[in-house]
Each structure stands twice: as C-alpha cells, then as structure tokens.
Amino acid sequence: MKASSSSFFISFAAIISHGVYGAYDTIQGRSCFRSLDGMMESMNDLSNNYPDLVSIEDIGDSYLKNNNGRPDGKYDIPLGGYDIYALKVTDSKSARQSNAKGKMLITSGVHARELATPELLGRFVETLVHGHKKDADITWILQHNEIHCILYVNPDGRYMAEKYPNLRWRKNLNPAGGCGDDSYGVDINRNMDFMWAYADGSSRNPCDSDFHGRAAETEPETQALADYARRLFPASQRKKNPESERNKPFGEDITGMYVDIHSSGGYVYYPWGHINSQSPDDAALQALGRKMNYFNQYKMWAGGQKDFLYPASGDISDWMYAALGVASMG
C-alpha cells in the first residue's frame, strides 16, 4: 500500500499546540469547541482568505434537508436541514497537478455526540493552512497531496447533540421505526454497503444506537460520503465484488488514505472491523496503525489484535478499504 504518511503524522501530532481561535460561535459550556455554525463560518472565512489553499464543495444534503424537515412534538428540529460540505486543502499553484497528487480523506462528526472531533479536524485544517511556506513538512504535504475533509458527516445529529446535550445524540434524524423522541435515527457508521448487517456487528432494532438502517447506503449522509469517496479515489484499484473477494489482498500498488476521527475509547481502528480476523493486507494496515500509535499510544482495535472490542459491520473504515482499496484508519 502506498500511503505517504510520515509527514502527515508529524503535522497531526503537533495540532494540539496550534489551536486557532476567533470570534466564532461555540458550544454552550464548551468554549474551546466551535459550534456547527461557528465552525462552518470559520472554514468559509479560511477559504476566502486562502483561496489558493482551501476550497469548499457542497457534496449532499442531510436527511432533514432531503425531507423538508418535520415537526417533532417535543424537540426543536431544524426544519431546513443542512448541506454537507467537503473541504479540499492543497497548494493549488504547485507544479504538481491534481491528478498526480496523493489523496487523503478525513471525516469527523459521524457520531453526533462526539463533540471534539470536528474541532480537532478544523484545527488540523488551520494547522496546514497557517503552516504553508513556514513549516517544511506542511509545505511538502500541500505541494504533493490533497487533504479532503468532511467535518460534519451527520449535521442534523450534530444540531441535536449541541442543543440537547443530555440526549447524547449519536445517529441521524431519520424517524423511521416508530421509536421515542430520543432514540430514533440510523447509525451512519453501520449503513455502508460492505458486510452490511453482518452477524452481530450492528442492530436491526431501529431504536438501538447502532441501528444499521433498512438497507445498505439508504441514508443521504451515507450516500454523500460514499459518492464523494468514489469520485476521489481511483476506480482502477477496486474489486468487482468486494464481499466475495474480501480475502484477496490489494497489494502494494493501491493509493489513497482514509481516516475517520472519533473521540471515545482511545483506539486506533483499522480493518477488519466486522469480524475478529486479519484482513489480507493486515501487515500494511497494521504498520500505518502503529505509526499512529507511536504518537498517541492508543490501543490497536482491529481483527486479530488483542484489544479488538466488538465487531462493527457496515462501518465506514471497512468499506473504504474493501470497496475502494484505500488504506483506512479510524
């Protein structure tokens, strides 16, 4: 697997000491975390101030925007829903053109209640932008690579998590299933179209926190993420049938890297996640995982590792690797 990662890890490890603050709205009671609105305002300002380094694309709509919102009866639901945005961070004036640059995709905010993840990713974006032509590693990264970031994969859920923190909202806001006011929705990280609903890696109960949805890739948030990733990473390295070919290695010639940021547990997560066994490219994926582990000392959560906690089927990390042939971490 080709994933030029050493410079990335150096910069990512330095992010905590490079917080960038401004007059942006923050989450009530958590002044160091920008709110959904405050974060997107700051990212738009960053793009306007550094147009050669940052661009923003609308890649899809949330469930509520697709369904025109709805009355809830108990909670204040955002009637308009949200657009889902992807940021591209790269030196657009470098000699190397886009088709020759490495591609990395980082997501956060999949599980709405994990409040820290968009802030961490937002600060990483700011670290890259403000370090360009000042830090040699960052300058090289942006000249040779594109870093794509989706800060809020699940913006409807994020709205609920910020406004009603006591609910600890995790899923999107799809009300199908007849659940109560605080337990409905689909877990985006169980809705991907690889080993969906496999064994006990997700729930068939719409009221459970890991409900996988009525079918694979049903949710607009899932579709927006999957479609963007399909456009980003090369089709030439994909398998025709990822599930039946899941034990066949990709080898050393695939490109691209994916990271899904979560804020619970202290684990480095990589395939396989749907089953406690090693993927056919375990040596390469484990090497990348241990590079992360060197900086954060997190435990290794992957098939075949002693700290594998439980299976997660239909999850994003497994899908990125199995369906798109991308080195994938969570």
CA distance 215 to 217: 7
Taking alpha carbons only, the member of 97, 88, 81, 212 closest to residue 154 is 81
Taking alpha carbons only, the member of 107, 82, 210, 95 closest to residue 157 is 82
Confidence bin at 69 (pLDDT 50/70/90): low
**pLDDT surpasses 70 at 21:** no
**Residue 320 CB-half CA count within 13 A:** 30
306-319 tens-digit pLDDT:
999 999 999 999 99
Residue 230 in tokens:
């399909």
**pLDDT surpasses 90 at 71:** no
**pLDDT surpasses 80 at 88:** yes
CA distance 259 to 299: 16
Residue 289 in tokens:
């995982």
Percentage of the chain modeled with pLDDT above 70? 92
**pLDDT surpasses 90 at 75:** no
Contacts of 2 (CB under 8 A, 6+ apart): 252, 253, 254, 255
Taking alpha carbons only, the member of 313, 329, 325 closest to residue 276 is 313
**pLDDT at position 180:** 81
Mean pLDDT on 28-53: 97
